[in-house]
Structure 1
Amino acid sequence: MAHISHASHPEIIKRLKRAEGHLRTVVQMMEDKRACVDLAQQLHAIEKAVAAAKKTLIHDHIDHCLAHAADGEPVAAKQAMAEFRAVTKYL
């Protein structure tokens, strides 16, 4: 399957690069023997950033790629896609 760049990709890349820099900072914090609570808090923030990037990517894929599968299909196909999009917020 060919990869298609979407309008959301630059924003996702920006988020991931920010998380990458944040992760490097956490590694330095560990090397500096910072408190575990501080490390856990920062790692939690990194997890949230990566999860948000993933969610945006999945929703973008559904909106722009899978939506074409429902074009011209009955209302049921579009409803099924809406339900699928809603469930992805839990990923």
Structure 2
Amino acid sequence: MKIGLLAKKRRQERGLRQKDLAKLVGVSAGTIGKIEAGDPVVELRTFMLVLWHLGLLSEIFNETPISKAPPELPSQRVRIKRMTEENF
């Protein structure tokens, strides 16, 4: 929802109507309204295109904290025991 509000603010700062932005992205004005309202059913591609047209991609994704680094994988091969009918 916060991203939607940020998108709305940026659109208004640029003097664009929902109709104008919708034409740039190739969707309906209703879809832009859904994005700005934080509706989770909008297609990801459309959502990303709106952010790109508004110049928000780097602003949003560079501020996202990265979680801990993934655990290191073992450097040795791991063998899994074969299942037999007795073990099953």
- TM more than 0.5: no
With CA pairs under 8 Å and 6+ residues apart, which has the higher RCO, 1 or 2? 1
Return the TM-score normalized by structure 2: 0.26
Larger Rg: 2
Return the TM-score normalized by structure 1: 0.26
Q: Choose between structure 1 and 2: higher helix proportion.
A: 1
